[in-house]
Chain A
Amino acid sequence: MSELLIRNACVIDPLRGINAEVMDIAIRDGVIVENVGGSAEVIDAHGALTLPGGIDSHTHICGTKVNFGRYMSPEDMRAGRTPRRGHMHSTSGYSVPTTYGNSYRYSAMGYTTLLEGAMAPLEARHTHEEFLYTPLQDTMANTLFDGNWAIMEAIRDGDTKRVAAIIAWTLQAVKGFGVKLTNPGGTEAWQWGKNVSCIRDPVPYFEVTPAEIIRSIVEANELLGLPHSVHLHCNNLGMPGNYTCTLGSLGLIPDLNPKRQTLYATHVQFHAYGGSDWKDFCSKSEPIVRFVNMRPQIVIDMGQVMFGRTTTMTADGPMEFNLYRLHHEKWSNHDVELETGSGIIPVVYRRKNLVNSVMWAIGLELALLMESPWQCMLTTDNPNGAPFVRYPEIIALLMSKRYRDAEFATIHPDTGSRVPLPAIERELDWYEIAVMTRAGQARALGIQDLGKGYLGPGAEADVAIYPIRIDEVDPAVDYQKVIEAFSQTEYTIKRGRVVSRRGECLVDGSNATLWVRPNVSDDYDMGRDPDFIEKFDRYYTVRMRNYPVQEEYLNRDRCIETEAGI
């Protein structure tokens, strides 16, 4: 039995409605409890800000495309190097760090749970292998279904239950957590070098539209009772005027789940653009926010862009090719048979560039205009908008109008006429930041029932203690202190153990992988479906028996079983 007592913690715990109360947190064997004995180890927080461990509900840290981002970018690897020291292995990389680099840097920032945003089922084993080397966070993977042949055929036949059955079989086979749609239909079209322009544009050959894919998969997701909602990267990313497409997509979503949203729309910044071309490009954050404010069934994340160098990587292959044609740096693409694809290019977001300046403003506007922080998660779509190490700056920008104005003065001078940002006075408070970086993320992912995202008895003892006293610091003025505090915890505690202290990781770590097994009736077990098996055998290049990810690839195996309604 191991016991730990954190004393004098200034706790913000939004899932329990606790806002800045000084209290003790008792931990036994990795779980938060009412109290512990007198021999427990004690950490005195001295009134420092104490939050549940950070959760990132959309990041790219492990798997085929992430690793290809490293592989093709020795210049990025050189831009962030640390030697082996104590329990820490050497790390490389700035925008796409090595797995240890990701794990240590996230841990130093107080993050204890990460969701990889895009895993191609055929290559899932790779994602899980990298999870094994991301030791300080629990991990899970959104699984890509945007161009899945069997699903598109089932949709064409109007058979939503079959759609659900295919998702169920695939998730348990590849040890996936949630359902991800990246440019639905577009990734299949891209295997012919084509794309879909928006939700009414049919996919070549399969003759289903993105709208049908989205609607049907959203229904199937709820039939299966999955913890998380469908996670959507809308069509038409990055194009001027795409906000109408985004509104059309969001408009497809009914309210189907009383516990959480029915759709998680990711990196909405990239989908909130007005104008008809790059010349009259402008922000449309306001209509998007107005729309989402009225619909509790939708949660978004920011996809904030920060100035500087980074690497873009997404399953959205056609978008990456368009981006390549603008930037003319190196371009990689990787289509995956019967399923999806991906693309990668390095980019630099520049302050002196008008389009980049507008993008920067839009992300902040989304977070500042949304009435409820529970509906807007803080992300950069790491590393697409910026590497996650920039989160502390984003927090400070959201908390300080003065900081925003100072930054605004340095960006392209025409930005002011294209964005509402300068007129927005709102400054987020500590509680709202806690929602957007852990509590809201836990709820949106549907993992609070697993003890994630709060600090009450029964919760997993994932805790972040930041070196800041919120009664002494005015974030509107001292934004530099906010940045420093969120850059490095005093203590990061994972499952009851101190894993990181002032940036130094202290243990080898032992993460858990969260994945979902929906239990379906025999009639809907695709593993016995003759048509499914026959097509699998004919068109995949891997045998069906060699496709599932074995238990060897899970460190701590946390299987979530659901009772599916099929």
Chain B
Amino acid sequence: MIVKDVVCPFCGCLCDDIEVEVEGNRVVAVANACELGATKLTGERRMKNPILRDGDAWKDISYDEAIRYASDMLLSAERPLLYGWSGTHGEAQCVGVHMAELVRGVIDNTSSVCHGPSILAIQEVGHPGCTLGVVKNRADLVIYWGSNPIDAHPRHLSRYTYYADGFFLENAFRDRKVIVVDIRKTETANVADEFMQIQPGGDYAVLSALRAIVRGRAESIPQTVAGVTREQLIRVANLCKEAKFGAVYFGLGLTMTQGKYKNIRNAIELVTELNRHTKFTISAMRGHYNVYGSNEVNTWMTGYPFGIDFSRGIAFYNPGETTAVDILARKECDAALIVGSDPAAHFPRRCLEHLADIPVVQLDPYPNATTAFCNVQIPVAVTGIDAEGTAYRMDGVPIRTRKIFSTEYPSDEEVLSRMYALMQEDG
């Protein structure tokens, strides 16, 4: 059977034009997706049933037992952490918020270790953005800054920017210029019309120089700024001002390097400044397919996009204090529920040492690095493959993922709802 218009549950591009061929409970062919998407859709070996750590071994347990374990763990904890969420659908994230509220825990998502600083910058200066289709149809200039889409968001260029058909561009590929700004010559830089190579840590200075030139103060710029020549800076600033519609897409290369949220703030202010001359937008290249959805859900439910602490009854937000990495590093939390992410693959060692000391339950279809830290792991259906639900694309467009085939696995939402119901009874 062929299923059309499938939504790829891998990266923030959330491509919804995938075709898959299904035989029984297996995807045998994938069309339109990139490598990353195709691999995700064809799937790895899934865990068969919930497992409980028993000394050095694993014991199979039932879903009822596993859910009971998790609910008891959360209810008896003094400072539980509910972390992850970017790899699951919005409906499950909503249940997660209710659970965190009930046990007065901390709920945090993976943006606290990726685009958290971008969000802090937006909270200071705002965000001039747009949906991806606006860029596709209008932009004659696209800038990738500290992001390498060919690697991380492979179809971003073909679906939304460089190679995409645009209503207002006669020959999109010819009429659209792409500038790459990075500290090394990436694959994306190889296809760009202009590459601006910055010395590591120099983003802030380069952004400031561009702002000064846009404001008409080119004369104040030295011969080189962080390795970029004055001539190139002026050329790039002019390309921006002369564009009819410009779009900046930044990645962790800007967010997570020296300067962090100040870089993003500076970049947003450059774009705001450019809007006095022409039309310009800026957006983050959000990674995990539904990480933006976890920000959206948390925001309408609690007021804040990540790092929410319910220990006072009210929702309290203070990134750096109420975020997962900090709570683990301070050895504060005494139980953790992990959903839709793999913190053991990304967190600093100090955090993992503490994770090893406390009870941990994970909801994930596959064994992963975090499995080694779990007391219980509960396999669930994969949203976008054998479960459906809402995901938010990197530009905020919500899409309902399709179910390609059915399995016996319960969805994240089902497992969490049962947990929450038990917790309400006992809590």
Contacts of A73 in B (CB 8 A): 123
Contact of B17 among A90, A93, A543, A550 (CB under 8 A): A543
Question: Known contacts being A81-B314, A81-B315, A193-B275, is A71 close to B168, with CB within 8 Å?
Answer: no
**Hey, which chain A residues are within 8 Å of B304, CB to CB?**
74, 77, 92
Of A82, A100, A129, A545, the residue contacting B90 (CB under 8 A) is A129
Say whether B302 contacts A64, CB under 8 Å.
no
Distance (Å) between the CB of B333 and the closest chain A CB? 20
Cα A108 to Cα B161 in complex, Å, equals 48
C-alpha gap A100/B301 in the complex (Å): 7
Minimal Cβ-Cβ distance residue in B for A85 = B313
Please tell me if the beta carbons of B125 and A539 are within 8 angstroms of each other in the complex. Answer: no
Given contacts A90-B314, A333-B129, contact A541 B160 (CB under 8 A): yes
Q: Is the CB of A334 within 8 A of B303?
A: no
Residues of A within 8 A of B101 (CB): 84, 89-90
Q: Are A331 and B126 in contact (CB under 8 A)?
A: yes
| B-facing residues in A135-172 (Cβ within 8 Å) | 149
Kindly specify which of A175-183, A246-254, A335-343, A396-404 makes contact with the partner chain.
A335-343
Alpha-carbon gap, A24 to B330, bound state (A): 62
Q: Is B159 part of the contact surface with A, judged by Cβ < 8 Å?
A: yes
Beyond A122-B131, A337-B134, 10 extra complex contacts between A and B, CB < 8 Å:
A81-B315, A84-B313, A92-B302, A98-B302, A123-B398, A332-B128, A334-B127, A338-B133, A539-B133, A539-B167
Contacts of A90 in B (CB 8 A): 101, 302, 310, 313-315
Query: Is A543 touching B123 in the complex (CB atoms < 8 A)?
Result: no
Give the residues in chain A near B272, CB-CB below 8 Å.
331
A80 (CB) vs chain B CBs: closest residue = B303
What A residues does B94 contact at CB under 8 A? 133
By the criterion CB–CB under 8 Å, are A191 and B279 in contact? yes
Whether, in the assembled complex, A99 has its beta carbon less than 8 Å from a beta carbon of chain B, the answer is yes
> How near does chain A come to B314, taking the closest CB pair, in angstroms?
4
Q: Give the contacts of B256-294 with A (CB-CB under 8 A).
A: 272, 275, 278-279, 281
Query: Is A22 positioned at the interface, with any CB of B under 8 Å from its CB?
Result: no
Determine if B299 and A332 form an interchain contact, defined as CB atoms under 8 angstroms apart. no
The answer to whether B303 and A70 have CB atoms under 8 Å apart is yes
When the two chains form their complex, are residues A98 and B300 in contact, meaning their CB atoms are under 8 A apart? yes
CA distance A479 to B119 in the complex (A): 44
B136: CB under 8 A from chain A?
yes
Name the CB-closest residue of B to A335: B130
CB nearest to B279 among chain A residues: A193
**A67 and B315: CB pair below 8 A?**
no
A38 vs chain B, min Cβ distance (A): 36
Q: Are A83 and B122 interface neighbours, CB within 8 A?
A: no
In the bound complex, what is the Cα–Cα distance between A205 and B168 (angstroms)?
Answer: 9
Confirm or deny: B151 has a beta carbon within 8 angstroms of a beta carbon on chain A: no
Q: B7 near A: Cβ within 8 Å?
A: yes
Bound-state CA distance A47–B102 (Å) is 40
**Contact partner of B300 among A67, A82, A84, A341, CB < 8 A?**
A67
B124 at the interface (CB under 8 A from A): yes
Q: Are B131 and A336 in contact (CB under 8 A)?
A: yes
Known: A129-B390, A546-B7. A332 touches B17 (CB 8 A): no
B7: which A residues are within 8 A, CB to CB? 546
Which 8 A-B residue pairs are closest in the complex by CB-CB distance? A337-B133, A92-B303, A83-B313, A77-B303, A330-B126, A193-B279, A335-B130, A541-B133
Question: C-beta contact mask, B301-319 vs A, less than 8 Å → 1, else 0?
Answer: 1111100001011110100
CA distance A192 to B295 in the complex (A): 29
Task: Please determine whether B136 and A337 come into contact, CB atoms closer than 8 angstroms.
Answer: yes
Contact A541 B159 (CB under 8 A): yes
Asked if A126 is an interface residue, CB under 8 A from chain B, the answer is yes
A552 CB to nearest B CB, Å: 7
Across the two chains, which residue of chain A brings its CB closest to B104?
A84
- Cβ contacts under 8 Å, A337 to chain B: 130-134, 136-137
Known: A98-B301, A546-B16. A540 touches B133 (CB 8 A): yes
Asked if B397 is an interface residue, CB under 8 A from chain A, the answer is yes
A/B pair count, beta carbons within 8 Å: 180
Q: Does B83 contact A (CB under 8 A)?
A: no
Let me know if A72 is at the binding interface, CB within 8 A.
yes
- Other-chain residue from A92, A93, A331, A539 in contact with B128 (beta carbon distance below 8 A): A331
Q: Which residues of B contact A67 (CB under 8 A)?
A: 296, 299-300
CA distance A84 to B311 in the complex (A): 11
Q: Which of B122, B124, B165 contacts A71 (CB 8 A)?
A: B122
Pick the residue among A70, A71, A126 that contacts B398 (CB under 8 A).
Answer: A126
Contact status A84-B102, CB under 8 Å: yes
19 intermolecular pairs with C-beta atoms under 8 Å apart: A71-B296, A71-B305, A77-B303, A84-B101, A90-B101, A90-B313, A122-B133, A192-B244, A330-B125, A331-B272, A332-B129, A333-B129, A337-B137, A341-B130, A539-B136, A540-B133, A541-B159, A546-B5, A546-B400
Residue of A nearest to B138 (CB): A191
Kindly list chain B residues whose C-beta atoms are within 8 Å of the C-beta of A552.
400
- Once bound together, how far apart are the Cα atoms of A64 and B296, in whole Å? 9
Residues of A within 8 A of B (CB): 62, 64, 67-68, 70-74, 77, 81-84, 89-93, 97-101, 122-123, 125-126, 129-130, 133, 149, 191-193, 205, 321, 330-338, 341, 344-345, 538-543, 545-546, 550, 552
- Asked whether, in the complex, the Cβ of A545 is within 8 Å of the Cβ of B396, the reply is no
* Chain B residue with the shortest CB-CB distance to A96: B303
CB pair A74–B400 under 8 Å, yes or no, is: no
Q: How far is the CB of B331 from chain A (nearest CB, A)?
A: 26
B425 to chain A, nearest CB (A): 15
Supposing A90-B313, A337-B137 touch, asked if A332 and B127 sit within 8 A by C-beta, the answer is yes
A77 adjacent to B317 (CB under 8 Å):
yes
Known contacts: A71-B305, A98-B301, A193-B275. The answer to whether A335 contacts B315 by CB under 8 A is no
In the complex, what distance in Å separates the CA atom of A92 from the CA atom of B316? 9
- Chain A residues positioned under 8 Å from B315 (CB to CB): 77, 81, 90, 92
- Residues in B with CB closer than 8 Å to A191 are 130, 134, 138, 245, 279
Question: A540 to chain B: which residues have CB within 8 Å?
Answer: 133
| CA distance in complex: A193, B243 (Å) | 11
Check A321–B275 contact: CB distance below 8 A. yes
Q: Which residue of B lies closest to A548 (CB)?
A: B400
- Tell whether, in the assembled complex, residue A133 and residue B131 are in contact, meaning their CB atoms are under 8 Å apart: no
Q: State how many angstroms separate the Cβ of B372 from the closest Cβ of chain A.
A: 35
Residue contact A72 to B16, C-beta cutoff 8 Å: no
Q: Could you say which residues of chain B place their CB within 8 Å of the CB of A89?
A: 98, 101, 301
- Taking the complex as formed, is B4 at the interface, i.e. its CB lies under 8 A from any CB of chain A? yes
Q: How far is the CB of A384 from chain B (nearest CB, A)?
A: 17
A191-B134, A335-B131 known; A83 vs B278 contact (CB < 8 Å): no
A193 and B278 contact, CB distance less than 8 A? yes
User: Please, how many angstroms separate the alpha-carbon atoms of A74 and B303 in the complex?
Assistant: 7
Report the separation of the CA atoms of residues A193 and B310 in the bound assembly, to the nearest whole angstrom. Answer: 42
| Nearest chain A residue, comparing its CB with the CB of B396 | A64
A550 to B400, CA, bound (A): 8
B399 within 8 Å of A (CB atoms): yes
Question: Beyond A541-B133, A546-B16, is A83–B314 a contact (Cβ under 8 Å)?
Answer: yes
CB contacts (< 8 Å) of A71 on chain B: these are 119, 122-123, 295-296, 299, 305
Nearest Cβ on chain A to B366's Cβ, whole angstroms = 26
Q: Which residues of B contact A93 (CB under 8 A)?
A: 303
When distances are taken between beta carbons in the complex, the residues of chain A under 8 Å from B122 are 71-72, 332
Nearest opposing residue in chain B for A550, CB measure:
B400
Chain B residues with CB under 8 Å of A539's CB are 133, 136-137, 165, 167
What's the least CB distance linking B102 to chain A, in Å?
A: 7
Closest to A190 in B: B279
Q: Tell me whether B133 and A99 are in contact (CB under 8 A).
A: no
How distant is the Cα of A452 from the Cα of B371 in the complex, in angstroms?
Answer: 54
In the complex, chain A residues whose CB is within 8 Å of the CB of B400: 125, 546, 550, 552
Q: How many Å lie between the Cα of A97 and that of B244 in the bound state?
A: 37
Return chain A residues, CB-CB under 8 Å to B98.
89
A218 to B283, CA, bound (A): 36
| Residues on the A chain within 8 Å of B128, using CB | 331-333
CB distance from B152 to the nearest CB of A (A): 18
Contact A336 B317, CB 8 Å, known A70-B300, A546-B400 = no
* Most central of B94, B133, B305 by chain A CB within 10 Å: B133
> Quick one: closest B residue to A89, CB to CB?
B101
